[in-house]
Amino acid sequence: MARERIRKIAVALPQEAAHGQWMRSMRLSGFTFVMLFVIVLAVVVLAPSLRTLVEQQNQLVELRQAVEDKKNSVNELKGDIARWDDPAYIEAQARDRLVYVYPGDYTYLVIDDGKTVTTDDGAPISDDIQTTKVDWVRGLLGSVVTAGTTTQTADTLESPKQ
């Protein structure tokens, strides 16, 4: 047997990109998988609690704003109450609201202040006198005759619309 001589020839491998070398150098162990599982489990467990925390923080902000608004309202009302301690303010309110005057004063009450008066359905009220085209005597007599000759009870009869 002849010993063959084994020759070692150096072979040049193609150059790899940097991300390929990084991926090949990474070694995944059992500890890595356990840590990834713990992180995913923590996210799944804590996500509902974090959502509740964010909702509660939003509610707190809204409630604090409501409290601030109420405090401002209370301060305005305290200012209104403090104005009633001033005799000049009381006199002005009595003159304005109750139309009080001092003896010897002349006061004028303006009835037409430019506002348009309308009916319930929004139509303007007419200034003209209108006459009806209904014979009220005949309607009254018809009502009496109908009431006297009907066989229906009072509960079943309709009341006239007013």
User: Which pLDDT value is given to residue 16?
Assistant: 67
- With bands split at pLDDT 50, 70 and 90, how would you rate the model's confidence at 96? confident
Residue of higher predicted confidence among 106 and 25? 106
Q: What is the pLDDT of residues 40-85, one digit of tens each?
A: 998 888 888 888 999 999 999 999 999 999 999 999 999 999 999 9
Residue 101: what residue type? V
Token code pair at residue 100: 């009080």
Query: Quick one: pLDDT at residue 13?
Result: 67
- Give 18's pLDDT tier (boundaries 50, 70, 90): low
Q: Does some domain include residue 121? A: no
The pTM of the whole model exceeds 0.75: no
Stronger pLDDT, 25 or 54, i.e. the higher one = 54
- What secondary structure letter does DSSP report for 13? P
Backbone angles phi, psi at 124, to 5 degrees: -70, 145
Structural contact between residues 119 and 125, judged by C-beta atoms closer than 8 angstroms: yes
- Domain membership of residue 98 (yes or no) is yes
Domain hosting 99: range is: 29-114
Q: Where are the alpha helices (DSSP H) in the chain?
A: 18-25, 30-83, 87-97, 136-149
pLDDT band at 2 (very low <50, low <70, confident <90, very high): low
In this structure, is residue 19 part of a structural domain?
no
Residues 84, 90: contact at Cβ < 8 Å?
yes
What pLDDT, on the 0 to 100 scale, is given for residue 60?
96
Alpha helices in 84-160 (DSSP H): 87-97, 136-149
Q: What is the pLDDT of residue 161?
A: 59
Average pLDDT, the chain: 83
Taking a C-beta distance cutoff of 8 angstroms, is the pair 87, 79 a contact? Answer: no
118 backbone dihedrals φ, ψ, rounded to 5°: -130, 165
- The count of domains in the chain is 1
Q: Is residue 161 one of the residues assigned to a domain?
A: no
Q: Are 99 and 109 in contact (CB under 8 A)?
A: yes
Judge whether 70 lies within some domain: yes
Tell me, yes or no, whether 146 lies in a domain.
Answer: no
Q: Contact 160/152 with Cβ under 8 angstroms?
A: no
